[in-house]
């Protein structure tokens, strides 16, 4: 089989194509022939060492062991099963819940031993992957590429909405609304939870597409009067913010939130450090949430909503597996809309 592995922290030159034996499923595992694997910021930041400092970076303190096959948004077909796994799974189309942990139900994503496929385990930049059978769910759509966009970005967006406890009729601002998580934040907040969504992007040429996903208004972060525009179009301060950019829009977010408003972030592509005047926080009774991934129950809810047509895949473009470096380079460019998918 072929796989693309990260050989160490650094640039895209650290992505190399390897040929090696197909892995064998252990007890409780299945072997999956990968049909599609979408790209996330997580594997890029893992390669760049952005999750830590010094010589270690990753989801866990010990850092990543190289070489490592990245990729956590995986769909495919079960080829073989290990011991204690029902053979009826062979031939089934599956989508992978992207993490393991010993956490109790509802706490899986925050357990101390949480481990992520593509970081602590070899992932989907490959022709085959092994994964626990109990973490393989029925694929929500018939198409492998369309289904592959949901695991990390969709689950993260769903959990963010749950964190804010979004109520029908509330106004929610979505930053980075044209990205992978952002397009799902728009859809989930509006079409599942019933909120009015103000989508924030750089290029207003994307406005019609975002409105088709459920956005009520689309504004540009390039405006020097963004906070004023948000409050004007909403007729007052807003209820919550679903953020993926970090520092770039943090001060604007706190400015436009109403008293008792909520801010949830799952990324920091626009700056990993910020300044905070605590008076803004406590005088406005603002609640801050950090969020990434989600629970198995939330994953099932996400897949059900996809099957019901409430959430749709948004795909910018696809690349063959061997062009993973080009795909990651394109991923980091501004102006794209939706997910980038690798196809073995």
Residue 142 CB contacts under 8 Å (≥ 6 apart), including other chains = none
Which of 292, 314, 295, 298 lies closest to 141 in space, CA to CA?
314
State both tokens at 155. Answer: 């689950």
Query: How much is the pLDDT for 56?
Result: 60
CATH 3.90.180.10 describes domain 2-149+313-343? yes
Q: How far apart are CA 66 and CA 80, in angstroms?
A: 26
Residue 59 CB contacts under 8 Å (≥ 6 apart), including other chains = 51, 114, 115, 116, 119, 120
pLDDT tens string, the chain, 344 residues long: the values are 999 999 998 999 999 999 999 999 999 999 999 999 999 988 998 898 876 555 565 566 677 889 999 999 999 999 999 999 999 999 999 999 999 999 999 999 999 999 999 999 999 999 999 999 999 999 999 999 999 999 999 999 999 999 999 999 999 999 999 999 999 999 999 999 999 999 999 999 999 999 999 999 999 999 999 999 999 999 999 999 999 999 999 999 999 999 999 999 998 888 888 999 999 999 999 999 999 999 999 999 999 999 999 999 999 999 999 999 999 999 988 778 999 999 99
Architecture of domain 154-290: 3-Layer(aba) Sandwich (3.40)
What SS3 state is found at 297? helix
Cβ atoms of 165 and 158 within 8 Å: the answer is no
Query: How much is the pLDDT for 154?
Result: 97
Residues spanned by CATH 3.40.50.720 within the chain? Answer: 154-290
Residue 169 zone, left/alpha/beta (φ > 0; ψ -120 to 50; rest): left
- Count the Cβ atoms, other than its own, within 10 Å of residue 322: 15
Query: How much is the pLDDT for 334?
Result: 78
- Count the Cβ atoms, other than its own, within 10 Å of residue 152: 29
What SS3 state is found at 178? coil
Residues spanned by CATH 3.90.180.10 within the chain? Answer: 2-149+313-343
State both tokens at 13. Answer: 């030159």
Query: How much is the pLDDT for 22?
Result: 98
Q: How far apart are CA 224 and CA 197, in angstroms?
A: 21
Q: What is the pTM of this model?
A: 0.95
Query: How much is the pLDDT for 25?
Result: 98
User: Burial level of 60, CB count in 10 A (0-12/13-18/19+)?
Assistant: middle
For tokens 């924030």, name the residue.
Answer: 200
Complete DSSP assignment for 28-72: TEEEEEEEEEE--HHHHHHHHTTTSBTTB-SSSTT-PPSSB----
Alpha helices (runs of H) in the chain, residue ranges in sequence order: 41-48, 144-147, 151-164, 180-187, 207-213, 226-234, 250-256, 278-283, 296-307, 324-331
């Amino acid at each position: 089989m072929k796989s693309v592995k990260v050989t160490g922290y650094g640039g895209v030159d650290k992505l190399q194509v390897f040929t090696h034996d197909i892995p064998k499923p252990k007890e409780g595992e299945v072997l999956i022939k990968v049909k599609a694997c979408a790209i996330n910021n997580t594997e890029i930041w893992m390669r760049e060492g952005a999750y830590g400092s010094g010589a270690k970076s990753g989801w866990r303190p010990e850092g990543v062991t190289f070489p490592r096959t990245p990729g956590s948004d995986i769909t495919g077909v079960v080829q073989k099963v290990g011991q204690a796994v029902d053979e009826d799974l062979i031939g089934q189309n599956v989508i992978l819940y992207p993490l393991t942990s010993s956490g109790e139900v509802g706490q899986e994503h925050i357990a101390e031993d949480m481990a992520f496929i593509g970081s602590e385990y070899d992932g989907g930049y490959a022709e085959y992957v092994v994964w626990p059978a109990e973490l393989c769910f029925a694929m929500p759509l018939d198409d492998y590429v369309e289904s592959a966009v949901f695991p990390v970005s969709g689950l993260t967006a769903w959990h963010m909405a749950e964190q804010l406890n979004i109520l029908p009729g509330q106004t929610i601002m979505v930053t980075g609304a044209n990205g992978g998580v952002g397009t799902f934040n728009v859809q989930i907040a509006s079409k599942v939870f019933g909120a009015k969504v103000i989508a924030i992007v750089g290029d207003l040429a994307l406005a019609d597409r975002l409105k088709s996903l459920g956005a009520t208004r689309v504004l540009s972060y390039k405006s020097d009067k963004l906070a004023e525009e948000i409050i004007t179009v909403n007729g007052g301060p807003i209820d919550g913010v679903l953020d993926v950019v970090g520092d770039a829009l943090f001060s604007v977010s706190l400015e436009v939130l109403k008293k008792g408003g909520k801010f949830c972030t799952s990324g920091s592509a626009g700056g990993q450090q910020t300044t905070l005047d605590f008076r803004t926080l406590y005088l406005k009774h603002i609640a801050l949430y950090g969020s990434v991934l989600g629970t198995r129950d939330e994953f099932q809810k996400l897949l059900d909503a996809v099957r019901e047509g409430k959430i749709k895949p948004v795909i910018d473009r696809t690349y063959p597996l061997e062009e993973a470096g080009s795909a990651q380079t394109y991923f980091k460019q501004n102006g794209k809309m939706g997910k980038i998918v690798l196809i073995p």
